[in-house]
Amino acid sequence: MKKIDGWVTAPQGFLAAGVKAGIKASGNHDVAVIYSTVPAANGAVFTQNKMCAAPVLVSREVAQEAVAQAIIVNSGCANACTGEQGLLDAREMQAFAADLLGIEPQNVYVCSTGVIGHFLPMDKIKNGLADAVDVMDENEGESCAMAIQTTDTFIKRAAYEFEVGGKTARIAGIAKGAGMIHPNMATMLTFLTTDAAIAPDVLKRAVKAAADKSFNMVVVDGDTSTNDSMIVLANGLAENEIIFSEEHPDYPAF
């Protein structure tokens, strides 16, 4: 396994972008999209806080699907503790992005992070999503990582290349989170992309196992948040033999 210089667009078939939509008072990047050019196996884990934000409720439904193709994110407003209106807004975000991308809403993950108790500024969200989809490409991974930050003082990213089934595959990720970190995740968003081929059910179990050994052991200040999401997309474009079980010889490498 070799560390490389890359963003979430390092694996084959992934595009991304982050834009300034005016949600944050600072004027910094605040809307992001990550898109796989082909349907991808997906796995996710979320906060265990009993108060789940609206985007978590929507994304949990996406996590039940065999495939997904996009992750949309806004920072600056968590859309948490917003009741029925918050849920409607999260679904509207999802449907709007799906239409822009030409895919089904159930294949779009929705994430939000920021201030709790405020409604999403939907006009800004939609304009930001349209702008992000318009400029997304393989070279916008950094702007995407910038757009998911809130109180973070630096970008968190990693990218690796590894051999699987005689093929060269890549895996990359970005994360945000500075406070409210407690076992079973926290105010944290983590998005990983890979071009390795793995069966959806196996990926879902692998994501849970990986989170249990990493993020679910971290404590910063003893608080667990409402919006935590770790999402993985695996689109198979490395063309390795699909990893169909934990007993597959390539599963340990993955």
For residue range 151-193, what is the model confidence (pLDDT) as tens digits? 888 999 999 999 999 999 999 999 998 655 444 444 689 999 9
What's the confidence (pLDDT) of residue 211?
A: 85
Q: Residue 25: how many CB atoms within 10 A of its CB?
A: 7
Catalytic residue among 47, 82, 187, 190: 187
Q: β-strand 229-234 against 189-194: which pairing, if any?
A: parallel
What's the confidence (pLDDT) of residue 186?
A: 41
Residue with tokens 């993955």: 254
* Structure token digits, residue 214: 């990493």
187 as an active site residue: the answer is yes
Q: Where does the pLDDT of residue 219 fall: very low under 50, low under 70, confident under 90, or very high at 90 and above?
A: low
Q: Please, are residues 144 and 156 in contact by the beta-carbon 8 Å criterion?
A: no
What's the confidence (pLDDT) of residue 188?
A: 81
**pLDDT > 70 in the chain, percent:** 93
Q: Of 36, 32, 109, nearest to 73 (Cα)?
A: 32
Q: Phi and psi at residue 14, in whole multiples of 5°?
A: -115, 135
**Max CA separation in the chain (angstroms):** 50
What's the confidence (pLDDT) of residue 220?
A: 61
For residue range 98-147, what is the model confidence (pLDDT) as tens digits? 999 999 999 999 999 998 999 999 999 999 999 999 999 999 999 999 99
- For residue 201, pLDDT beyond 50: yes
* Structure token digits, residue 116: 């709790």
Domains of the chain: 2-234 (3.60.70.12)
What's the confidence (pLDDT) of residue 223?
A: 59
Q: Phi and psi at residue 107, in whole multiples of 5°?
A: -105, 15
Q: Residue 165: how many CB atoms within 10 A of its CB?
A: 18
For residue range 27-67, what is the model confidence (pLDDT) as tens digits? 999 999 999 999 999 999 998 777 889 999 999 999 999 99
Per the model's pLDDT, the better-predicted residue between 214 and 230 turns out to be 230
pTM, two decimal places: 0.94
